[in-house]
Chains A and B, each alone.
Chain A
Amino acid sequence: MEEILFGIGISALAGALATVAGAAEDTESDIGSQGDPNSQVQLAPQMGYVHRIFNKAVSGEPPAYGLWVALAAGVAWALMAIQFNAILALVIGSAVAVFVQGVYATTAYLGRTASLAKFEQPVYIDILKSVTSVTMAHAFVAIFATVTMCFLMIEALGHPFPLPLMGIVWGIALGAAGSATGNPFYGKERQYQKYPFGAGLPISASGDIVRYAEAGQRSSLDNGWFTSKGAGPASGICFGLIVFFELWRTILFEPFAAGWGAVIAGVVLIIIFMVIDRFVETWARKTYGPYTEEAAPEEEAAA
């Protein structure tokens, strides 16, 4: 019993760390513009819209975070092997990984932006100085929280994977969850804030991103401020739920039915999430209604 309680406590702690990691990961990728919406940041100067948005999407978020978290985990693992204190090892590992992330962000911004020289897009050195350090700070939070979560899974819950391998697995999963959940909010709601709320962006408007703020030109730091109110927490909840339920169902239900208990619990959880999704989908259809009336004659008759 005590063992199960301890396991559930560790699951909750890992879930909380994952939530922080997911929120920080998405905010980092939005400030640095690393997700799919960066296609618009790259496209804008080609359409004549010169801007001051950061641009570092030379890699997708999942492989990038797979690298950084695995790097942090690898360094921490090596330090622990020579009897370093675990917390200190995790901090040093994350710091080394963040240094690599900083080098990546700098070279990516310079390379991607310099490639737009023929469209008269300047490389702003002040952006490099002000934004890179902010993405590094967010990346540190995401990487440290994830690698600590991996450490807990191995040391406290007894997963057989070594720390660096665990880092790759959960780093890629972190990037996948963060980019999937957070990208639409940054892409549609922020980059195209001037277009009407409640509709997708017409394909013909591609490249016409918002470039001006209340005073002066929009900075990528403003994008972090905006997305940390929506996409960041949503990504955090997404990754936190994934980690928590993955651990919780295994720890609590694996002893039942010779191991099948965890599988059955997983199936039940998937069905519950499916029902919630269907509810959200039908709620949106009822509440927002169809865009075009002629294609929905029953709505017209009711009016």
Chain B
Amino acid sequence: MSALGGGSSGGEGINPTASLIALVIVLIAVAVVFLVYPAATVPLIGVIIGGVLISFGVHFVPVGGAPAAMGQAPGIATGVAMLAAGGGLAGLFGGAWAAEFGIAISLAAGAIGGGLLMAITCLMVNVVYVFAMGIPAASGKVYKDPITGDVFPPYKSQGTEGHGLPFISYVGGVLGGLFGGMGGTLIYYELLQVYEEALPSFLGATTEGLTILAVSLAGIFAVGMFLVAAVLTAYNITGTIEGPHDPKFKRWPRAVIGSSAASAVCGLFAILLVVI
């Protein structure tokens, strides 16, 4: 129990009433778009899937927060939403660059962009821990690494919950970057399709002059929605997470349901902006 009388952890169960409300919000958003501008229905569903991918991906990212900065807990020493945003937005950069090649390559490029940022960042975190601080990687949540089989308790220094990035956390970081980059790119790509189609009739100008406006709007909405989904997920994680092997990882369905509702509402406004 915490000082406020609530549970000490966020819990893992799914609230059926809240989930039902989230589902209703998603359905209402899709119905409104279908009635107002039917061509944007599929893009809105794409935006919702993008939000879900981001939310799911953030759970993989090993984030240790402040304790990790003192070698007191494993993970990367920064905030959940912050790190995921860094990876996801680097993915968005790559995905937007490849948008001319079509949705498949754009999504793949976005995923790889996010994964590459996380792969390099996680490597440099371990390099600093090992070569600058002399500390080997050790998880505090599991006895041994599910991938490599390395045993952790002997390598955990006294009075800490572990430190550094064990290989499972490294893989989790890369997977988180892949999902985040893909989700952010999907939101950007779908909104770009809507804007490129709707802006010329909405503003009464040629498509060529409006390309930069469409790219800017889609880009800034993608960044904004990315942060909505990532921050919402950070609340679900409550603090730190080590990666896919962490017991907190099991909470992902709740964040995914919440993010789908948030993405649906954000996507609805992003689409209504140009069609009303």
Contacts and interface: CB of A to CB of B under 8 A. Distances in A.
A and B associate in one complex: yes
A35 B69 contact: yes
Given A36-B66, A259-B98, A259-B105, A281 B137 contact: yes
Interface in B117-142: 117, 119-137
Contacts of B76: 180
A177 interface: yes
B109 A263 contact: yes
A238 B121 contact: yes
Interface in A125-155: none
Contacts of B130: 280-281, 283-284
A51 to B, nearest CB: 16
Given A179-B77, A241-B120, A269-B119, A231 B128 contact: yes
Interface residues of A, number: 84
B86 A172 contact: yes
Contact of B108 (A168, A263, A274, A276): A263
Given A187-B70, A292-B153, A281 B166 contact: yes
Interface string B93-106: 11011110110010
B119 A270 contact: yes
B117 A242 contact: yes
Interface string A15-51: 0000000000000000000011101100000000000
Contacts of B216: 161-162, 165
A260 B106 CA distance: 10
A102 interface: no
B115 interface: yes
A167 to B, nearest CB: 11
A180 B125 contact: yes
Interface in A271-292: 273-274, 276-278, 280-281, 283-285, 288, 290-292
Nearest to A202: B159
A200 B135 CA distance: 7
Interface in A177-224: 177, 179-189, 191-192, 197-206
A292 B154 contact: yes
B90 interface: yes
A113 B122 CA distance: 33
Interface stretch (A56-64, A90-98, A114-122): A56-64
Given A185-B132, A270-B112, 7 more contacts: A162-B216, A183-B69, A199-B160, A203-B161, A205-B159, A274-B170, A296-B151
23 contacts: A36-B78, A36-B79, A37-B69, A62-B86, A159-B93, A160-B96, A160-B215, A172-B86, A183-B78, A198-B133, A200-B72, A201-B71, A201-B159, A203-B72, A235-B124, A238-B120, A238-B124, A259-B109, A266-B113, A277-B165, A281-B137, A284-B135, A291-B155
Closest 6 CB pairs of A and B: A176-B86, A202-B159, A200-B71, A187-B69, A290-B154, A266-B112
Interface of B: 65-72, 76-79, 82-83, 85-87, 89-90, 92-94, 96-99, 101-102, 105, 108-109, 112-113, 115-117, 119-137, 148, 150-151, 153-167, 170-171, 174, 211-212, 215-216, 219-220, 223
Interface of A: 35-37, 39-40, 60-63, 159-162, 165-166, 168-170, 172-173, 175-177, 179-189, 191-192, 197-206, 230-231, 234-235, 237-238, 241-242, 245-246, 249-250, 254, 258-260, 262-263, 266-267, 269-270, 273-274, 276-278, 280-281, 283-285, 288, 290-292, 295-296
